[in-house]
Structures are given as structure tokens and as C-alpha cells.
Structure 1
Amino acid sequence: MTNDFILNTVVKTFRVLEFLSESESTYTLTKLAKILKISMGTAQRITNTLIQLEYLSKDPETKTFRLTSKWLRIGFSVLNDLNLRQIAVPHLKKLNEETNETVSLGLIDNDEVIFIERIASKHLITTNISLGMRRPIHANSIGKAILAFQDEDQIKERLNRIQFTKYTNKTIVDKDKFYAELKKIKKNGYSINDGEIEKEIFAIGVPILNNNGVAIAGINLVIPKARFSKSIVYEKYLPVIIEKGILISKEIGNY
């Protein structure tokens, strides 16, 4: 196909989108234009259009841009094509059957965890989690499990952005303590959320890793403290969810 059939503005727009989607950092208009080698005028028109369409947001203080969650509509269809959900769901069902507790699959979107799959417990007392629901990274078992298995630069860059809001007396709100928690999670291979956002909830999270050992998603098992048993959770449930995380990771890597 010749260049007569290509719209250069569309090409440049997708270059902006691809660059932002692959980067863990945020960029100003000047930096975007310089890195992508496009004029300031073109960069401004592209970013203004994407903001108007709600695919891009601009931080009023730092003047930097980032993709918005509206991309999830496209992202979900891509995930289906890549078989992430298709691969994970059978394992989530088995995890749910073996524990009879609520299980979820989640991703990090900006600085939050978003749940893209959920299988609820059949117990009368269960957890209020729905598809599309968001949770802060620092107070969620999936968020902590994913973040612990990123490279060091990405971890530090994200830690500088996270707002360490306190939800309960167990929420980690100190950046250094949270960093130490991530190191512990990576060593153990799983994360724990013991009432860090909801006092009555206990959760275990494990990462879904690609071939490079980087987390692309995570799964968790959520247990109301009304029926929490430390021996059952650590001796029975923990090995099972770790196993499921490994199996999903292996299948993702072989796809």
C-alpha cells in the first residue's frame, strides 16, 4: 500500500498512544514531541483530541499525560484475543470449588487494580466485588502481588506516584515500609491483605507472570474474617492459589 492511502495524523496519533501504553512514566507535551520527533503543534492537536475523546488525561499540576481507563473497552477485547481470561477462568473455577471462597482476576490500570473476572463464594457471607471495580494498589492483594514483580525502576517510579491513603489502622501508608513489603512479597511469591482496606476481609494474592518473570496480572482469594481460620488459610488455601498462579503463568507463557 502506497503512502497515498495512509493518514499521517493517524500514524502519529498511534505512535503517541503506543508510546504511552508501553511507558511506566508520564510525559509533558514538550517531552512527547521531542521523543516522538513531532512538532509541538501536532502533539498538541493529538493530545487535545484524545483528551476530548476521554482516552487521555492531563494532570493539571504536572502537565503530564496518561491513558485513561476508557481503553479498557479495547483492552478487554484484546485480553480475550490473547486468551488471558480464557486461560485463567478454568483455574479460577477450580480454586473457587476447592476453597468455596470468592476468587478474582485483576490488572493494574494507572495506579489502581481493576477486576476483570470474578467467581463468587456460595456462602451467605461473602465479599462485595464486581467486575470493573477498582481498588488502590497499596491496599489490595492483587495490586501488591503485581507491583512486587515489576522491575526496580518501575516499582520506584510508581511508588513516587501512589497516594498512600489510609483506610484502616492496618493500611501501609509509609513508602519505605510499603517497599519493604513488596520485597517480602517477591521473596515469598504471594501477598497478604489483612484488613488493609476493609477490616473484616482477609485476602491472598499471587502474580501472573510472563516469560520474563514480570507480572502482567494477578489473582486473589478473598475470605471474610467471620470464617477465617489461620491454619486452613495457610496450610490449605495458600498452596492451592500459588499452584493456580503458576499454572496460569505457564499457560500464558506458552501461548
Structure 2
Amino acid sequence: MSLDSEDPDFVSALARGLTVIKAFGQGADSLTLSEVAQRTDLSRGTARRLLLTLETLGYVRQDGKQFKLSPKILELGYTYLSSIPVWKAAQPVMQQVVDKLDQSCALGMLDGYDVVYIARTPPKHLAYLPVTPGTRMPAHVNAMGQVLLANLSADELDIYFRLAPRERLTKFTLVDEQEIRRTLKKVARDRYALSDRQIHSGIRAIAVPIPSLHGRPEFSLNASAEESRASRSDLIEEFLPILRAAADELSSVL
């Protein structure tokens, strides 16, 4: 049950505290009180009380006029991850994929209009991709997101296309609804998705669903590579069988 913010059971202080935590991030690792207030639309007094409370709990630390999140904040994320059986089981399986391909492997799930990365194992070779657990990407242009969207009902997809933003991230990004729908039909038929430079120029990814005995898949697994290191045919002929074997292994473990 989702509460309205005006509901008496809705705890506004908790909601504001989470808003303060979310104010920090890439490019905003250190903020002043005024900056936190501005980013959260809270008064300076409210922002100050919330920051000091978070500092007392150990989730925020203060250095002069600057506030930063402390490493303890990781406990919140890892508490969630440790509650997902697939997260722990996936670690050795994903490492096997990386060892075989020397390319990154990731595990994701849908959350709203995005696919959220809940685990990622990087390759041995030097490569930079700004993806860590918690990273969100538009589901319809991400390979993991596409294989999960392809399993939604027609009504759920209609809602997705009515509400989800479709921003062009590269010149290859799919933004046309009918084109995306045709892609998802093909994904549902083939049981894999291939996203070619749709999110990051020069990056290709292929993903498969992790089969579930309880209905449609909740998680998906991908492998990604720079276009200079893997062609589309490499992803289908070499990556896909390894990913499918890994997904079946995870399914049987779960």
C-alpha cells in the first residue's frame, strides 16, 4: 500500500531525511548547509537538524562548513542487496562469465522506468564505464531492461510508454515508441536483447533473462564490451551461449 504524503501514517521527517541523503552524489560529494537546503527545497533550519541527526547516527560527517556522507551509508544499500538471494549467488557465476570473456558482466532488475544495476564484475583489461551497483539506466535502451520489459503485460507496457521519458542519449538511442515496441517483440521471441551504443557511444551489451519458476523473470544478466573489442556477431555467437548458461545456473541455484 502506497501512502499519500498527507496521510497521517506518512512520516515526513523520514522522507526529508532520505531526501537529504539523496542530495549527495557524483559531483556533489561535499556540500554546505546552504547547498543541501537548496538541493532539497528545505529550510536551512530543517536541513541543519537533519544533517546533525544523520551525523549523530554516523551516516554523515562534517568538516568545517562541508558535509559528506560517511562510509556507513553503504550499510543501507548492502542491507538490501544481502536480502536478495540472487545477489550472493550471482557473484561466482558472474566472475566465471568475466573469466571466459574478459568483458564486464552485470546483474539488473526493473525499478519504475529504469533498470537498476545490483551487481557488476569488471574485466581484467583496463576499461572505464561509469557503472556501479545502484546505477540506473532507461530500461528501453538498456539490454537488461529490454529483456525484462519484453516480459511485461500489454497493459504494463502501455503504462510504461505513457509515463517513461525517452531521451536521446546517443545518435543510436531508440526513442520512437513503435520502433521500441518492435524491438521488444523481437527480444521476447529471441530471449535476448542486444543494445548497440544506445547509452554510451562505443559500448555494446547483450543480455538474457534469468528464468524463474514463479512466473516472469525478475532479474537479467548482461555482458558488455567496447565496440573495438567485440562486434555484434561476437556478442551473439560467443557471448550469448555463455550468458545463457550462466543464467540457467543461477536459475537452478535459486
| TM-score of the pair, normalised by structure 1 | 0.69
Structure 2 Cα separation of the partners of residues 75 and 150 of structure 1: 27
1:1-255 residue pairs with structure 2 within 5 A?
19-20=1-2, 29=4, 43=7, 46=10, 48=12, 51-54=15-18, 76-252=78-254
Q: Is the 8 A contact 2:170 2:198 kept in 1?
A: yes
1:24 alignment counterpart: none
Q: 1:120·1:126 contact (CA, 8 Å) conserved in 2?
A: no
2:202 maps to amino acid: E
Letter in 2 for 1:148: A
Letter aligned with residue 142 of structure 1: M
Structure 1 residue 49: deviation in Å? 5.3
Contact 1:138 1:178 in 2 (8 A): yes
1:91-111 superposed Cα distances (whole Å, 9 cap, x missing partner): 111111110101111222222
Kept in 2, the 8 Å contact 1:95–1:241? The answer is yes
Deviations 1:152-200 (A, max 9, x none): 3222222211101011221111112212211111111111110111120
What's the offset of the Cα at 1:88?
Answer: 1.3
**For 1:73 and 1:138, how far apart are their aligned partners in 2?**
30
Mapped contact 2:116–2:134 kept (Cα < 8 A):
yes
Counterpart Cα distance in 2 of 1:148 and 1:223: 23
Q: Which amino acid aligns with 2:179?
A: K
Name the CA shift for 1:179/1:229 in 2 (closer, same or farther; >3 Å).
Answer: closer
Q: TM-score, normalised by structure 2?
A: 0.70
Could you tell me whether the CA contact under 8 Å between 1:192 and 1:202 is conserved in 2? yes
Q: Give the aligned partner of residue 53 of structure 2.
A: none
Identical pairs, percent: 25
**Aligned-partner Cα distance in 1 for 2:142–2:173:** 10
Aligned in 2, Cα 1:186/1:250: closer, same or farther, shift over 3 Å? farther
Measured at CA, do residues 232 and 135 of structure 1 come closer, stay the same or move farther in structure 2, by a change above 3 Å?
same
Aligned length: 201
1:39-95 Cα offsets, whole Å, 9 max, x none, are: xx6x2552745643448xxxxxxxxxxxxxxxx976752442341111111211111
Is the CA contact 1:116–1:132 (under 8 Å) kept in the aligned structure 2? yes
Unmatched tracts of structure 1, length 5 or more: 1-18, 21-26, 33-40, 56-71
